[in-house]
Amino acid sequence: MFFKFNIKKIMPKILNSRLVAGTMFWGQWGKQMSTKQMTDLLAFFYENAINTFDHADIYGGYTMEAAFGKAFSQSSIPRDQVQFVSKCGIQYTSDNRSNEIIHYDTSKAYIIASAEASLKHLKTEYLDALLIHRPSPLMHPEEVMRAAEDLKKEGKILNFGVSNFSSSHMDLMLSEGVLDINQIEFSAVQHSALFDGTLDSILQHKITPMAWGPVRSYFSLDDQAKKQRMKKEFSELSLKYSASEDQLLLAWILKHPSKIHPIIGTTQKERIQSALQSLSIELSTEDWFKILVASQGHNVP
């Protein structure tokens, strides 16, 4: 007997592009790009089939979304051909807020107000996805999910998810509704999600995973012994796959069965094109484990 499986039901497609463009360092927290530079970069991503853009209200001290919105409005890219993902819930300290300390707010009123502010700044009628940036010790799943439901009903968001949530945090939210996305830190360097149940839960509940820090965590690694082990392994695999270190780092993430979407934060066009080439690299299972072992410093049990 043969069974016909619905692939979308097994792992629904929430995000259009496998690689996601991260905007965190475009503005005041990084390159301080002009409106024209942002418009040009937007077009470059779009022309290279990366049409999902990751935001957070706090980026640039609450300035990046507005800068991006201005740049996008000056582009010729149709809104329905791109996706905007944003995050809220962190009350950040900046010149634009009166917060005395960084803290979290996951109240219904704050989530809705943050989403509406993002819509205004991005100059759009809807967000393709809204995520709670980090779990708060004070969050109540029913209140969070009612906010998501109201925003969905009003057409202000299409999908709802979380960021940096563990498996237990996801279970808490799932007790009151549906999660479409979880954006986690994940790389060949920081891979705790493989073993703490996070990615297992993502697979079980058919949640779309995004990964921040997929490459930068390796190049900024302070543990020199770990870095040298990985570099030695990459030097051999680079010859085998005709690939650079950053391409192998992305290929390692892309092999996971949950279909992770790495967020690339670079603004350099040559590095964007290099990242795109990782999509065609198919690491063997043994080579995937070689990278894991080099990172861990010991063989698997």
Closest of 272, 299, 291 to residue 218, by C-alpha: 291
Per annotation, catalytic residue among 59, 62, 218, 241 = 59
Residue 52 · residue 83 · CB < 8 Å = yes
Between the alpha carbon of residue 268 and those of residues 40, 210, 253, the distances in Å are: 12, 21, 21
Residue 297, phi-psi category: left (phi > 0), alpha (psi -120 to 50), beta (remainder): left
* Distance, CA of 42 to CA of 33 (rounded, Å): 12
Expressed in angstroms, the distance from the first to the final Cα of the chain is 37
Closest of 152, 174, 150, 154 to residue 162, by C-alpha: 174
* Distance, CA of 262 to CA of 184 (rounded, Å): 10
Question: Is 59 in the active site?
Answer: yes
Those residues with Cβ within 8 angstroms of residue 292's Cβ, 6 or more apart along the chain or in another chain: 188, 191, 300
Catalytic amino acids? 59
